[in-house]
Amino acid sequence: MTILTTENLEVRLGGRPVLEEISIQVPKGGLVTVLGRNGVGKTTLLRCITGFYRPSGGDIRFDGESIARLKSHQVIRRGISHAPEGRQLFADMPVHENLRAGALHLSDAEFAARLGEVIELFPILGERRTQLAGSLSGGEQQMLCIGRALMSSPRLLLLDEPSLGLAPKIIARIFELIMSVRSTGVAVLLVEQNARLALKVADYAYVIDQGRVAVEGTSAELAHDDGIISAYLGTEPDE
């Protein structure tokens, strides 16, 4: 069963085509990754799914319903959350208030219940509850970014470059947490520059090049194709 489908999706920004005929699928409870070099449109795809950009053609369907014309808050209420590139936290607000910002539509009781669930996944956020977000380490900020996105109890989580700027040991921990999120039944659509790592955790992968899907396949297939790795992902096969 598929929870998200884009059908021949097209996006133009400033009159320039950024995405063309993008068709991808994310199964319920699955983990799909979108790969490609910088500037090929990966972040634009996530922003279009969340309603930040309006598609110029094609459709986006979530659980069988078209969401291509919905506004961002409507998309969130349908069950999609986005942990954006660069985290985009409220640096001068404490951890607790950043988490509250991800669940403004919840009642106090609902918020308290969901907060307990998120802190169970990310115990450090409970320990840092009153600390300003801007004073957290890079890894803790990434956990807060993901935790904030999970506060709305999404059925689909969009992750944009969760490893960006982090040390290898912290990246490994972040990806362990992503797998923990996936184990709760939340589907994940992952945009990630670290292609090797993304292919290790994902079920299926799409590679975007020049605004189009150039290659797709199971992660195992793509991970063992050195030609694809070097041609489209900007890394050497032995890296």
Query: Please, what's the largest Cα pairwise distance for the chain?
Result: 53
Cα–Cα distance, 11 to 177 (Å, whole number): 32
Helix (H) or strand (E) holding 169: helix 168-183
Give residues with Cβ within 8 angstroms of 44, minimum separation 6.
11, 13, 18, 19, 53
Q: Using an 8 Å Cβ cutoff, are 46 and 189 in contact?
A: yes
CB 22 within 8 A of CB 59: no
* pLDDT of the residue at 234: 63
Segments making up each domain of the chain, as ranges: 1-79+156-162+187-239
pLDDT value, residue 236: 44
Instruction: Please provide the CATH number assigned to the domain covering 1-79+156-162+187-239.
Output: 3.40.50.300
Alpha-carbon gap, residue 112 to 18, rounded angstroms: 41
Q: Which amino acid is at 50?
A: T
Percent of the chain having pLDDT more than 90? 79
Taking all residues of the chain, what is their mean pLDDT, rounded to a whole number?
92
**b/e per residue, 212-226, with b = 16+ CB within 10 A?**
bbbbbeebeebbeee
- Do residues 72 and 51 lie in contact, with contact meaning Cβ atoms separated by under 8 Å? yes
Residue 200, both tokens = 């290790």
Task: Output the CA torsion sign for 104, 101, 32, 206.
Answer: positive
Where does residue 234 rank: exposed (0-12), middle (13-18), buried (19+ CB within 10 A)?
middle
Q: What is the pLDDT of residues 10-47, one digit of tens each?
A: 999 988 999 999 999 999 999 999 999 888 899 999 99
**What pLDDT band is residue 235 in, cutting at 50, 70 and 90?**
low
Give the pLDDT mean for 160-182: 93
Helix (H/G/I), strand (E/B), else coil: 118? helix
pTM: 0.92
State both tokens at 194.
Answer: 């670290």
What was the pLDDT predicted at 225? 84
In sequence order, what E strands does 139-195 have? 156-160, 187-191
Of 18, 94, 36, the residue nearest 222 (C-alpha):
36
Average pLDDT over residues 189-216: 93
Q: Across residues 41-61, what is the average pLDDT?
A: 95
Does residue 237 have a pLDDT over 50? no
